[in-house]
């Protein structure tokens, strides 16, 4: 199995950073996805979040809808939110059998105390359940701005250990980062990653166009830097929170700063924050 087989765009170096983008939806976004589907390229990878307050059946139905609409589903699994091994196994069995899921994104998740047997992503990967059910690629989190509970050095070690475990199980690792508003931390982090010899493909997390208050709310909730100077560069003044903002400047700066030799294989992952149609319209407007 090669990256080319799971996504044709990884192996070809493209001038267009928007080529081969991926999206993220929540279980509640299925009606929005149906509406936006004609505007989205077939086979686009679409992640389905694993948030509190969602029923497992709703997540699984969303995964099915992604497949039926002609896209590549990438369900999230939040290790710390899994209440039992059975819940996890049943989910994986169902999404692979019903929706031909080949990729999964495994994340620790925000609960300070695990709600079940899994404390971190590595434990989920180590169960063997993923490859046994035909999963071919595993997404893991990238933290370009660090993590409130884990040191920078530990984050690299965790990343290296997860990648080694995924490869040992004959699956392909893909790194999907937390969203950010500032290009520089992404570029520096990518450079450090490649200097450490981590060559896995990376998806940089980019916010879709959304209301400014909403963006700041998500930033606060997810521990993402949104200082006045960062937001000014993004195109937002904190003295006027009315209106919305898109990632025009961020994507422009990333495009100018990215260098294949230095940063390796990079694509974008869009977080629409409830505004799927707006995000896809923005992508189509800016896609060369």
Ligand X SMILES: NC(=O)C1=CN([C@@H]2O[C@H](COP(=O)(O)OP(=O)(O)OC[C@H]3O[C@@H](n4cnc5c(N)ncnc54)[C@H](O)[C@@H]3O)[C@@H](O)[C@H]2O)C=CC1
Ligand Y SMILES: Nc1nc(=O)c2c([nH]1)NC[C@@H]1CN(c3ccc(C(=O)N[C@@H](CCC(=O)O)C(=O)O)cc3)CN21
Beta-sheet pairing, 202-207 with 172-179: parallel
Residue where the block lists tokens 């009606």: 31
The interface region with ligand Y, picked from 49-57, 97-105, 160-168, 253-261 by CB under 6 A, is: 49-57
> From CA 19, how far away is CA 90, in angstroms rounded?
34
Q: How far is CA 10 from the centre of its chain?
A: 16
CB of 224 to ligand Y, least distance (A): 7
Nearer to ligand X, 61 or 150 (CB): 150
Residues linked to residue 106 through DSSP beta bridges, in sequence order: 77, 140
Which member of 13, 128, 149, 288 binds ligand X (CB under 6 A)? 149
For the chain, what is the total number of helices (H) and then of strands (E)? 13, 10
Q: Are 105 and 75 in contact (CB under 8 A)?
A: yes
Binding of ligand X by 109 (CB under 6 A): yes
Binding of ligand Y by 51 (CB under 6 A): yes
Helix (H, G, I), strand (E, B) or coil at 76: strand
CB of 240 to ligand X, least distance (A): 28
Binding of ligand X by 120 (CB under 6 A): yes
> Which of the listed partners (ligand Y, ligand X, none) does 274 bind, with a CB threshold of 5 to 8 Å by partner kind?
ligand Y
Nearest to 129 by CA among 92, 158, 96: 92
Can you point out the beta strands (E) in the chain? 22-25, 45-48, 72-78, 103-107, 137-142, 172-179, 202-207, 210-211, 244-245, 266-271
Binding of ligand Y by 148 (CB under 6 A): no
The interface region with ligand X, picked from 90-98, 144-152, 164-172, 226-234 by CB under 6 A, is: 144-152
> Which of the listed partners (ligand X, ligand Y, none) does 53 bind, with a CB threshold of 5 to 8 Å by partner kind?
ligand Y
> Which of the listed partners (ligand X, ligand Y, none) does 120 bind, with a CB threshold of 5 to 8 Å by partner kind?
ligand X
Nearer to ligand Y, 69 or 276 (CB): 276
Binding mask 103-132 for ligand Y (x = CB under 6 A): -------x----------------------
User: Residues with Cβ < 8 Å from 68, sequence gap 6 or more?
Assistant: none
Site residues for ligand Y, 165-184, by CB under 6 A, read 178-179
Q: Are 216 and 281 in contact (CB under 8 A)?
A: no
Nearer to ligand Y, 117 or 274 (CB): 274
Nearer to ligand X, 109 or 208 (CB): 109
Question: What are the residues binding ligand Y (CB under 6 A)?
Answer: 26, 28, 49, 51, 53, 110, 178-179, 222, 271, 273-274
């Amino acid at each position: 199995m090669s990256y080319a087989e799971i996504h044709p765009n990884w192996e070809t170096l493209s001038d267009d950073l928007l080529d081969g983008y991926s999206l993220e939806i929540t279980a509640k976004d299925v009606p929005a996805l149906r509406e936006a589907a004609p505007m989205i390229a077939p086979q686009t990878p679409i992640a389905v979040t694993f948030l509190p307050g969602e029923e497992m059946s709703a997540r699984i139905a969303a995964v099915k809808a992604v497949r039926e609409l002609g896209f590549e589903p990438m369900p999230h699994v939040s290790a710390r939110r899994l209440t039992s091994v059975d819940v996890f196994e049943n989910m994986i069995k169902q999404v692979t059998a019903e929706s031909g899921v080949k990729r999964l994104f495994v994340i620790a998740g925000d609960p300070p105390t695990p709600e079940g047997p899994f404390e971190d992503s590595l434990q989920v990967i180590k169960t063997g359940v993923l490859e046994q059910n035909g999963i071919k690629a595993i997404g893991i989190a990238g933290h370009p701005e660090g993590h409130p509970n884990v040191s920078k050095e530990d984050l690299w070690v965790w990343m290296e250990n997860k990648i080694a475990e995924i490869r040992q199980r004959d699956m392909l690792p893909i790194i999907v980062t937390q969203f950010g508003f500032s290009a520089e931390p992404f570029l520096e982090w990518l450079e450090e990653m490649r200097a450490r010899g981590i060559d896995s493909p990376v998806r940089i997390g980019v916010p879709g166009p959304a209301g400014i208050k909403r963006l700041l709310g998500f930033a606060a909730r997810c521990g993402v830097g949104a200082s006045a100077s960062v937001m000014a560069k993004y195109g937002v003044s904190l003295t006027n929170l009315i209106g919305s903002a898109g990632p025009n400047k961020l994507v422009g700066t990333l495009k100018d700063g990215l260098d294949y030799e230095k940063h390796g294989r990079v694509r974008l992952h869009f977080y629409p924050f409830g505004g799927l149609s707006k995000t896809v319209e923005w992508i189509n407007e800016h896609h060369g």
